[in-house]
Amino acid sequence: MEFEFWWLLALPVFFGMGWVAARVDLRSLLSESRQMPSSYFRGLNFLLNEQPDKAIESFLLVAKEHPDTVELQFALGSLFRRRGEVDRAIRMHQDLVAREDLPPDERRQASFELAEDYFKAGLLDHAEQVLAKMAEADPSADVHRQLLDIYIQEKDWAKAIGAAKKLEVSAKRNYQKEIANYYCELAITEQVHGRGEGADAFLAKALEANRKCVRANLLRGEWLARAGKHEEAIAAWKAIESQDPAYFGLAAEGMFESYRALGQLGEGLALLRGLQHSYPGLDLLNVVYQATAEQEGDEAAWRLVRDEVRRNPTLVGLDRLVDAELLRAPPDKRQDLQLMKNLVHSHAQALAVYLCANCGFRARQFFWQCPACGGWETFSARRTAELDTADRHLARIQIGQ
């Protein structure tokens, strides 16, 4: 490849252009630094010396003397909110919203920050007013999401349904699981106030929104049983099989009591045993164990638990088996079994909890909405002690197929 002599001319030209650009940037930087007030640099100095209160006062002085420093005011407002000084954050963002010369994007940001201030302060009605006004001109996902959070906090489930439906459009995400739970909450309110027809109508809407809403059938079965309609209650609970059979443990006790009320304990026990065989679960096993002991005696209950532990070995199942052994053991063996029981039980209790798949929150009781992260239906219907066993059981079924 021959050497191109024009490169000798081009290199000095490129070097000269770079030098000129650097000089221009340097002059611009020096000009901007001269325009910045001394209070700004004092604030930086206080910040570097870990004196945040004095730094904030200096930055406030800058913001007051130079209203065009919008980004600084946003930063101060967010800082106040994080420090818990929500009243100062509210005033800062209110001043920004009130400015007529503020560009639309910055006005939107100021309104959104103000709504967050109100939310943090617990002034949910004020936050709702700001966001509802924003939603009229700006139907974006973050506005609808914030509105939905407010309606959930206020337990205004009718508005939550409306916000979730709008959020489905703006966020392009399915919210039918959440909407079905909001309908269930409305149904519970109706039932508490003795309006059974209204409650049933909301449960129907929950199933319309999400046909796999197990909660709707659990509630329907419970309320029908309470009204003495046991056959209809059993039918509602049986529908869970086509939704998610892992939840049968939550319905098992009610199902057996309805069979008792109908005088069909044998049929009820046979059904529950069949469910336990097909969809093993610790909650379901506990009900089947108690029902077997009541109907057929302690020996039959012991054989049931023994076979179940062999089939699906878990520490909680072993705890139940030791219970059964204690009932049938001779007096001279009970002391050793009780010692074993105490050791197994203490470890089993630590594992017999429900786990939120979203945030990892553990709870002794089942929740439809996680108390920690607020997610809906994030708790597994199975306790942590049986999750691995359930996975193995599912794998065996798939292999068999």
Check whether 8 has a pLDDT greater than 90: no
What's the rounded mean pLDDT across residues 272-292? 87
Lowest mean pLDDT, pick from 78-82, 160-164, 360-364, 384-388:
384-388
**CA-CA distance, 231 to 164, in Å (whole number)?**
35
The CB density around residue 5, as the number of other CB atoms within 10 Å, is: 7
Highest-confidence range of 108-112, 148-152, 205-209, 324-328, by mean pLDDT? 205-209
Q: 370 by DSSP, 3-state: which?
A: coil
Q: How far is CA 308 from CA 76, 202, 315, 323, in A?
A: 62, 39, 12, 14
Check whether 224 has a pLDDT greater than 90: yes
**CA-CA distance, 71 to 21, in Å (whole number)?**
27
Beta 354-355 vs 362-363: how paired, if at all?
A: antiparallel
Highest-confidence range of 49-63, 218-232, 267-281, by mean pLDDT? 218-232
Q: Is 399 exposed, middle or buried (0-12, 13-18, 19+ CB in 10 A)?
A: exposed
**CA-CA distance, 253 to 240, in Å (whole number)?**
14
Confidence band, pLDDT 50/70/90 cuts, at residue 27: very low
Give the DSSP H or E segment for 354. strand 354-355
Residue 326 vs residue 175, higher pLDDT:
175
pLDDT of residue 184: 97
What's the rounded mean pLDDT across residues 68-95? 73
**CA-CA distance, 344 to 86, in Å (whole number)?**
50
**Interhelix angle for 230-238 vs 214-226, to 10°?**
170
- What is the residue-wise DSSP string for 247-273? GHHHHHHHHHHHHHHTT-HHHHHHHHH
Q: Rounded to 5 degrees, what angle do the CA atoms 335, 336, 342 make?
A: 90
Confidence band, pLDDT 50/70/90 cuts, at residue 297: confident
Q: Is 54 exposed, middle or buried (0-12, 13-18, 19+ CB in 10 A)?
A: middle
Mean pLDDT of the chain: 76
Check whether 210 has a pLDDT greater than 90: yes
Q: What confidence tens digit (pLDDT) does each residue in 248-263 have?
A: 999 999 999 999 999 9
pTM over cut 0.85: no
Highest-confidence range of 269-283, 329-343, 349-363, 386-400, by mean pLDDT? 269-283
Residue 323 vs residue 387, higher pLDDT:
323
Please count the residues of the chain: 401
pLDDT of residue 25: 45
pLDDT of residue 342: 67
pLDDT of residue 274: 92
Q: Which of 253, 179, 190 is nearest to 222 (CA)?
A: 253
What letter would DSSP give residue 240? G
Q: Phi first, then psi: give them for residue 363, nearest 5 degrees.
A: -145, 150
**CA-CA distance, 320 to 142, in Å (whole number)?**
49
Q: Which of 292, 121, 42 is nearest to 305 (CA)?
A: 292
Q: Is 365 exposed, middle or buried (0-12, 13-18, 19+ CB in 10 A)?
A: exposed
pLDDT of residue 171: 87
pLDDT of residue 345: 61
Check whether 1 has a pLDDT greater than 80: no
pLDDT of residue 232: 96
Q: Phi first, then psi: give them for residue 354, nearest 5 degrees.
A: -95, 145
pLDDT of residue 50: 46
**CA-CA distance, 318 to 345, in Å (whole number)?**
9
Confidence band, pLDDT 50/70/90 cuts, at residue 43: very low
Residue 94 vs residue 395, higher pLDDT:
94
pLDDT of residue 42: 46
Q: Which of 184, 260, 262, 249 is nearest to 223 (CA)?
A: 184
Residues marked as binding for Fe cation?
Answer: 356, 359, 370, 373
Q: How far is CA 159 from CA 37, 164, 166, 200, 212, in A?
A: 48, 9, 11, 20, 23
Which residues, in sequence order, are CB contacts of 180 under 8 Å at separation 6+?
206, 207, 209, 210, 213, 215, 216
Per residue, the 3-state secondary structure of 139-172, as one string, reads CCHHHHHHHHHHHHHHCCHHHHHHHHHHHHHHHC
Check whether 157 has a pLDDT greater than 90: yes
Domains of the chain (ranges; CATH) run 75-83+92-97+108-173 (1.25.40.10), 353-401 (no CATH)
Check whether 233 has a pLDDT greater than 90: yes
How much is the CA Rg of the chain, to the nearest whole Å? 33
Residue 361 vs residue 29, higher pLDDT:
361
Lowest mean pLDDT, pick from 61-70, 231-240, 277-286:
61-70
Residues marked as binding?
Answer: 356, 359, 370, 373
**CA-CA distance, 278 to 397, in Å (whole number)?**
10
Residue 83 vs residue 164, higher pLDDT:
164
pLDDT of residue 97: 75
Check whether 397 has a pLDDT greater than 80: no
What's the rounded mean pLDDT across residues 337-356? 68
Confidence band, pLDDT 50/70/90 cuts, at residue 316: low
What letter would DSSP give residue 68? T
pLDDT of residue 363: 87
